[in-house]
Amino acid sequence: MADALITSTIKVALEKTLALANERIGKLFQFKKDLETLRGSVAMIQAVLADAEEKQTHDQAVQLWLQRLEAVAFDAENLLDELNYEALHRQLVGKVRSFILSSDINIVFRWRMASKISDINKKLNKINKEANDFGLIRFQRATFPPSTTAKVTLNRETDSIAGHYVVGRAKDETRLVEILLSLSENAVSVIPILGMGGLGKTTLAQSVYNNSQVDSHFEKKIWVCVSDNFEVTRLLKMILESLTRRNVEITSRDVIVQEIRQQLVGKKYLLVLDDVWTESQILWDDFLRLLRGLNATNGNWCVVTTRKQQTASIVATHDPYVLGKLSDDDCWFILTEKANAGGEIPEKLQVMKKEIIKKCGGLPLAASAMGGLLRMKGKEESELILMNKLSNLSGDEDSVMKILKLSFNCLPSPAVKKCFAYCSMFPKDTEMKRDMLIELWMAEGFLQVDLKNKTMRKLESITWKFYCRVLCWKK
Ligand SMILES: Nc1ncnc2c1ncn2[C@@H]1O[C@H](COP(=O)(O)OP(=O)(O)OP(=O)(O)O)[C@@H](O)[C@H]1O
Ligand SMILES: [Mg+2]
């Protein structure tokens, strides 16, 4: 995914550079000619980016070229930002004329900026030459999305995230609930749900967690997303946070354990540890010892979801629940639901049903990602994508990555890609309020809305749609 990210980062930086390299700046600082050269080079580079994006996966030279370009694009953007800031500042204090003509400091400033522009122009020129040497193909500017900033159509007022549905796991849920509700002499029993990435372990664990019988059987329920950091004090802190629904600042392990004990005294609990990777017997034993000492009640359960056989064997006190693949019909349901949002299934897709299902390999994540991709590309392009770009999928984890990567590449603009990629900076399963995320995107400059011409309500509606588009991958 990193390779797809770099091109979107570059595209956004270059678009911003073009927007900032305006005539006003050219005139004000007498850089008209340099800025024209810069704009020309940037336009030439933009024309080869689509081809570079394709080629980078198998051509290391193109990868390195993109890295060099990224650095220059950032320099250019920063420089023009500085010039714009300076111009604005001067306008505000009403010194534009004297700034250009008299002050020594401004001569120094101008000289410094001129030498920076000249340096950037030289680098862009070199990068353009290299693009020719690599044989990168130039596409018409019109084939790019019209702008990197958020162009959100305002024709629909009620965009929403697709509702969550779980298919084909009723038997698994029933079986797991039976196990959790069975009589147990143990203080804490541990059952792993084992299966490859994207098979639906977390989804199943969620269904079990929210099951009504489970609700009435356990007096306390705790959900912790572990990921690859199995640090015991961190886990205890997260358990306490889940129990109290507030931030825990305490750092002393003993104090945290004490507080958890108070929460759980005399109460049967279910603890879900989602996405566990540890293979350390020592860490696990340490954690389990603490769990056992939390209360005197028997029949507590801990459900662990994991991809790793080794982890499952370390943690299990009960046979691991090995999750199976989804049936063809269930995969088809997920895919078409995502591709068509409940609408009629296009004939073209229907004809290719067998082949498409094979590519999903029983993985709900593959079905869901493929559905999202087909929805994004529309009916016409769907067939082409399935026949060409996704022709050799074999329904394994690698296939999922390929589908996800292609989906990312197909997001409608670099700005949308950046918003999406930005979310990857946060730890897995971070919960964040929508408005907070939108504010962060705005602060990063991904979401540029003309504030002067938009009323607040309209602005909210635009940003909401943008959010839906990024997180639901909608067109
Ligand atoms: N039974 C299902 N019905 C519908 N969608 C499902 C089902 N199972 C999983 N999905 C969807 O597939 C995607 C992957 O599921 P999930 O996160 O549960 O997989 P996982 O096995 O926990 O993966 P990982 O190992 O990466 O944690 C999610 O988008 C989820 O909504
Ligand atoms: Mg998971």
DSSP state of 37: H
Q: What is the average per-residue pLDDT within 431-439?
A: 78
Tell me if 308 CB under 6 Å of ligand 1: no
Q: What is the average per-residue pLDDT within 130-134?
A: 87
What is the CATH superfamily name and number for domain 170-322?
P-loop containing nucleotide triphosphate hydrolases (3.40.50.300)
193 forms beta bridges with: 305, 321
Return the structure tokens found at 321.
């629940």
Of residues 146 and 46, more confidence is placed in 46
Query: In this predicted structure, what is the pLDDT of residue 474?
Result: 43
Q: What is the average per-residue pLDDT within 386-406?
A: 69
If you write DSSP's letter for every residue of 216-280 in order, what string do you get?
A: HH-SEEEEEEEET---HHHHHHHHHHHHHTS------HHHHHHHHHHHHTT--EEEEEEEE----
How far, in Å, from the CA of 245 to the mean position of ligand 1? 25
How far, in Å, from the CA of 2 to the mean position of ligand 2? 22
Tell me if 44 CB under 6 Å of ligand 1: no
Share of the chain above pLDDT 70, in %: 78
* pLDDT tier, 304 (very low <50, low <70, confident <90, very high otherwise): very high
Share of the chain above pLDDT 90, in %: 35
> Whose C-alpha lies nearest to ligand 1, atom 3?
166
> Whose C-alpha lies nearest to ligand 1, atom 23?
198
Whether the per-residue pLDDT at 255 is higher than 60: the answer is yes
pLDDT in tens, 167-220: 999 999 999 999 999 988 889 999 999 999 889 999 999 999 999 999 999 999
Q: What is the mean pLDDT of the chain?
A: 80
> Whose C-alpha lies nearest to ligand 1, atom 18?
200
The domains of the chain are located at 2-143, 170-322, 328-472
Of residues 332 and 435, more confidence is placed in 332
Tell me if 275 CB under 6 Å of ligand 1: yes
Query: In this predicted structure, what is the pLDDT of residue 393?
Result: 67
pLDDT in tens, 57-69: 788 889 899 999 9
How far, in Å, from the CA of 323 to the mean position of ligand 2? 12
Query: In this predicted structure, what is the pLDDT of residue 341?
Result: 61
How far, in Å, from the CA of 431 to the mean position of ligand 2? 15
Q: What is the average per-residue pLDDT within 264-280?
A: 95
Region of residue 393 (phi > 0: left; psi between -120 and 50: alpha; otherwise: beta):
beta
Query: In this predicted structure, what is the pLDDT of residue 214?
Result: 96
